[in-house]
Amino acid sequence: MSATIQSIEAILVDIPTIRPHKLSMTTMGVQTMVIVRIKDSSGLEGLGEATTIGGLAYGPESPESVKLTIDTYFRPQLIGQPSDNRNTLRVMLNRSTRGNNLAKSAIETALLDLQGKRLNCPVSDLLGGAVHSHIPVLWTLASGDTAKDIEESLSLIETGRHCDFKLKIGSRALMDDVRNVAAIKAAVGETASVRVDVNQAWDEATAARGMAELQAAGIDLVEQPTPMKDYAALVRLSQKFYLPILADEAVADASELYSLAAAGFSGAVALKIAKAGGPARALEQAAVAQAAGIGLYGGTLLEGTIGTVSALHAWSTLDTLRWGTEMFGPLLMKDDIVIKPLNFHDNGVDLPEGPGLGIDIDEDKLAFYRRKA
- Residues annotated as catalytic (active site), given as ranges: 168, 326
Separation of alpha carbons 363 and 67, rounded Å = 19
CA atoms within 13 A on the CB side of 206: 18
CA 1, CA 140: separation in Å to the nearest integer? 47
Question: How far is it, in rounded angstroms, from Cα 117 to Cα 46?
Answer: 8
Residue 33 to residues 53, 168, 306: CA-CA distances in angstroms?
10, 22, 10
Half-sphere exposure of 224 (CA within 13 A, CB side): 24
Interatomic CA distance for residues 97 and 94, integer angstroms: 5
Determine how β-strand 27-40 pairs with β-strand 45-51. antiparallel
For the residues of 319-356, what is the DSSP string, one character each?
Answer: S--TT-B---HHHHBS--SBSS---EETTEEEPPPSSB
